[in-house]
Structure 1
Amino acid sequence: MRHAYDTETVRAAEQTLMRELPDGALMRRAAAGLAVACGDVLRRNGRVYGSRVLLLVGGGDNGGDTLYAGARLARRGAGVRALLAAPGKAHPGGLAELLAAGGAVIGTPDGFGPVDLVVDGITGIGGRGGLRPDAERLVREATAGRAPVVAVDLPSGVEADTGQVLGPAVRADVTVTFGTYKPGLLIDPAAGHAGALRLVDIGLGSVLPARPCLEALQYEDVAALLPVPGTESDKYRRGVVGVAAGSRQYPGAAVLAVSGALHGGAGAVRYAGPGADAVIARHPETLVHPGRPAEAGRVQAWVVGPGLGNTPEAVEAVADVLAADVPVLVDADGLRLMDTGAVRARDAATVLTPHAGEAAALLGVAREEVEAGRLAAVRELAARYDATVLLKGSTTLVAEPGGAPVRVNPTGTSWLATAGSGDVLSGLAGSLLAAGLAPRDAASVGAYLHGLAARRASAGAPVAARDVAARIPEVWRDVYA
């Protein structure tokens, strides 16, 4: 499991650890890890000895980490030059060590010539807002030659705690972060500036609190949560998921949601709605009912919403499902048709799966506000609707009321931006709910498998939602194995 902590928590942990260590030891640990990472980048593109490294150095500890790492690279034979974004505030110890190792300070990038690596140490986790005009100009000039960029702790100009980018910011090829991940490294749009992530252990693990603010499932976490049938399992014990989706206008949504549920491990799928003929033609194992969900038979969880349209029958279907005493996942048209009071009044679990536009409508804000502040949006939705919320998009986030860590999905791909992929995800997560997974687990495991299936199906090329659904059993087997 990857864990991320906010700035305040990280700073408190650093202060605790520094009281236990010799003066400067924590910074030197960070600098050592940073220098190793920079050396790895240089070796991939040539060698460390004789390479040309340009440091962009801000004031404070972030700049100190950069200077000490630059000194290490200089002692390995690299030509290291530092551009000081705040000359009067450069870390004195780091600057002295760089100069003693043979590094130098220059006034402009033009004074150095071609560069093999740029190290961004302008602002640290305490930076707020985008780059200031002078720093933006410095970055633009330093990166004009397209040399790889390594960011120190996080790219300068992005928001560490929220993932927002409120102005100009560095775009790094690699970000070397210290002690723990920061939320902005895992959440777009800031995550899109971070490049490949490299975590350097500086000993914070022993002093950080047990509960992070953000977490990301990894292979072994998902494998441990997958509901694998035992010797005494039958189709009912494995979970029966109901799907109320599709319409005469959008029968494909019903087919795709059912496909996601069947491939997601449900023991059986009951379909209720006007798309019964399309569903049974594609998936003859489905138990279909052309009428209301309340009349379809017993299920362990419901999925409602994809492709329902805006008819009185659609409104009735959403109300039926929300009145059920089993876990419910609401997606697409269901989000628009659901009654807020009915959602909040439910005793059984509810999972909402909006994309940014639907989330904006539920919150009464502009879509751009949700996309710029995804973490705040998913937390607000979970609190307002007293439900688990899976916010789809460039970074898929899962939040639940009560303060549990928000989960970020690490397997997303832009190839999922295709019609019907959300319908498949709904069915898949619904099948996991029916199998007995907790709402947050069902949503985050569903998103993880969905992302892997899309990567496998696309292999860097356009992919259709039906192909994503077909690959779910394959990635399930790989993860579990």
Structure 2
Amino acid sequence: MARLPDGALMQRAAAGLAATCADALGRVYGSRVLLLTGSGDNGGDTLYAGARLARRGAAVTAILLNPDRTHPTALKALLQAGGTTASPQAAPALIPRADLVLDGIVGIGGRGGLRPEAAPLAELAAASPAIVIAVDLPSGIEPDTGEVHGPAVHADLTVTFGTHKPGLLIDPARAYAGSVRLIDIGLDDTLPATPDLESLQHPDVAALLPHPSPESDKYRRGVVGIAAGSARYPGAAVLAVAGALRGGAGAVRYVGPAADSVLARFPETLVSDSGPKKAGRVQAWVAGPGVGDDAAPVAEALATDVPVLLDADGLRLADRDTVRTRTAPTLMTPHAGEAAALLGVSREEVEAARLTAVRDLARAYDATVLLKGSTTLVADPTPGTPVRVNPTGTPWLATAGSGDVLSGLAGSLLAAGLTPLDAASAAAYLHGLAGRYAADGAPAGAHDVAEAIPAAWRDITS
């Protein structure tokens, strides 16, 4: 802002916002646009965009929540363009008749949910047939963490400026944002070199995935060991092996009591009747899915000098000090309930503050942590490393055995040579995309997700 003429960034933001509103409306002339306008620059962006829409023939009304602190220059521009103002008391009559509602109540400085005078406006907007577009982020969410501590605007679309804010990517706040559109306002050379959060895309993941060379054999590509399953839960072993076979490693070695079930489904699996200690050389272990109360395979895997992925029962059976003092890396893949047990808090606390929870777990265990759920987050224990948020996935992945497939997939990528951060991130991305393909709008089982991984892999690398 110091380098540019006064108001230049606001005008760039307003231009992008107005263009997005026009696209959403389809026909601007004669449409009814309502601006929910707070104080400060967020309100200014909203008023300037309203002025642009008014000049194109829209009937634009701004509800001023704090008239004495409304951005004066932007308000003048709206009035000169033919826009009008109203008090919050007029909202019950105006909002239901609007074609589009612009949420400019608070911006990135807002904390703690909407104030009492603004909360009813959010409720009216949510109940109206109007398109609701949030300016930079939905008012009432926590921009830096994705937490929601009170009433907030539910947007159909959020137009954000310069860079994505963490709250737009992490639940529960993500659910308030709707679709998100980024408007470039020229901040690239001023943003920090290391962000707080990263979200990988197809090219990023394609660069991480292993590719065999002409000299490769099954051992050079990596061997992943799977210590999973029990007499009660043989399916966990089968599904973990299913994910591992599609994860890029050259071979999968299984140890556990579900060998017959594994071989019946996947005869290419290398089966051992010993525990991890005597199973033979592997480049990574997956320990825990479906083992029940048998702590031996988990302890043996952790005693090796290769990366270990802990999932399901393995998270409960692993000793924290053992994990912290390992010389080889550890990757933990809890869901919210398991994370809560490991942290000694309630599941509700984890789900309300997912970013805090995944960072706390990574520090507490000195391990990379993949926190599964509505937003999958991956945190590295190294200070300053951005947390990665996975943009793929579907609610249909909330099905029994889906996590076992993910653990096998991530373990295979570990064995192929990826770091725990990259293996977890790439696995979550592939798993989420495979879940979309498998479901295609209808229920899908975990085995369907595993079978869709090759299609997701080809999509990413093509």
TM normalised by structure 1 equals 0.94
Partner of 1:234: 217
Question: Which SS does the other structure have where 2:339 is aligned?
Answer: helix
Contact 1:429 1:443 survives alignment (8 Å): yes
Q: In the aligned structure 2, how far is the partner of 1:70 from the partner of 1:228?
A: 51
Are 2:383 and 1:400 equivalent residues in the alignment? no
- 2:131 equivalent in structure 1: 148
Equivalent residue for 1:456, pick from 402, 414, 437: 437
Q: Deviations over 1:295-350 (max 9, x none)?
A: 1110000000000001xxx2111110000101110000000000111101111111
**What secondary structure does 2:118 align onto?**
helix
Secondary structure at 2:97 match in 1: coil
Say which SS state the counterpart of residue 243 (structure 1) adopts: strand
Whether 1:478 aligns to 2:443 is no
CA distance in 1, matches of 2:141, 2:52: 27
Please give the per-residue CA displacement for 1:395-444, whole angstroms capped at 9, x wherever unaligned: 00000112200000000211110000000000000000000011100000
Post-superposition Cα deviations, 1:197-225, rounded to whole Å, max 9, x if no partner, equal 11111111111111000000000111111
In the alignment, what sits opposite 2:106? 123
Structure 1 residue 170: Cα displacement? 0.5
Given that 1:273 and 1:293 are in contact with CA atoms closer than 8 Å, whether structure 2 keeps it comes out as: no
Equivalent residues in 2 for 1:400-479, closer than 5 Å: 400-402=380-382, 403-479=384-460
Q: Which residue of 2 aligns with 1:21?
A: 4
Q: Which of 276, 289, 297 matches 2:280?
A: 297
SS at match of 1:156: coil
2:344 matched to which residue of 1?
Answer: 364
Corresponding residue to 2:191 among 193, 200, 208: 208
Contact 1:175 1:197 in 2 (8 A): yes
Q: Counterparts of 1:142 and 1:235 in 2: how far apart (Å)?
A: 58
| Inter-partner Cα distance in structure 1 for 2:48 and 2:325 | 57
Cα distance in 2 for partners of 1:412, 1:83 equals: 38
Look up the match of 1:62.
42
1:240–1:431 Cα contact (<8 Å) kept:
yes
Question: Percent identity of the aligned residues?
Answer: 70
Q: How far apart, in 1, do the equivalents of 2:338 and 2:63 lie?
A: 46
**Greater alpha carbon shift after TM alignment, 144-153 vs 363-372:** 144-153
Secondary structure of the structure 2 residue equivalent to 1:120: strand
CA contact (8 A) 1:54 1:119 kept: yes
Q: Does 1:222 align with 2:201?
A: no
CA distance in structure 1 between the partners assigned to 2:125 and 2:193 by the alignment = 40
Query: Following the alignment from structure 2 to structure 1, what is the Cα–Cα distance between the partners of residues 124 and 321?
Result: 55
The answer to whether the Cα contact below 8 Å between 2:237 and 2:289 also exists between their aligned partners in 1 is yes
Residue 91, structure 1, aligned to residue 71, structure 2:
yes
- State the SS of the aligned residue for 1:157: coil
Q: Where in structure 2 are the equivalents of 1:98-177 lying within 5 Å?
A: 98-107=78-87, 108-112=90-94, 114-177=97-160
Give 1:50's match in structure 2, choosing from 30, 44, 65: 30
Letter of the 2:399 counterpart: T
Aligned to 2:300: 320
Question: Which deviates more, 105-114 or 293-302?
Answer: 105-114
The partner residue of 1:75 within 48, 55, 68 is 55
Query: Aligned partners of 2:244, 2:73: CA distance in 1, in Å?
Result: 60
SS at 1:151 equivalent:
strand
**Runs (5+) with no aligned partner, structure 2:** none
SS of corresponding position for 1:247: coil
Q: Tell me, yes or no, if structure 1 residue 333 matches structure 2 residue 316.
A: no
Counterpart code for 1:463: A
Q: Kindly indicate whether the alpha-carbon contact (under 8 Å) linking 1:177 and 1:200 is maintained by their aligned counterparts in 2.
A: yes
Q: Which residue of 2 aligns with 1:263?
A: 246
User: Cα distance, 1:265 vs. partner?
Assistant: 2.0
Deviation at 1:145, TM superposition (A): 2.3
The whole-number CA distance in structure 2 between the counterparts of 1:137 and 1:389 is 39
Structure 1 residues 337 and 110: CA distance shift in structure 2, 3 A:
closer
CA distance in 1, matches of 2:324, 2:167: 30
* Separation in 1, partners of 2:455, 2:136: 36
Corresponding residue of 1:342: 322
Tell me whether 1:245 sits opposite 2:231 in the alignment.
no
Aligned partners of 2:125, 2:221: CA distance in 1, in Å? 58
> Which of 364, 379, 393 is equivalent to 1:384?
364
Matched, 1:354 2:334: yes
Paired residue type of 1:471: A
- 2:161–2:182 Cα contact (<8 Å) kept: yes
Q: 2:353 aligns with which of 366, 373, 377?
A: 373
Structure 2 matches for 1:282-293, cutoff 5 A? 282-293=265-276
| Number of aligned residues | 458
The Cα shift of 1:84 comes to 0.8
CA distance in 2, matches of 1:96, 1:110: 25
Gapped regions of structure 1 (runs ≥ 5): 1-17
- Amino acid in the other structure paired with 1:371: E
Aligned with 2:127: secondary structure?
A: coil
1:191 CA displacement = 0.4
Distance across 2 between alignment mates of 1:110 and 1:321: 63
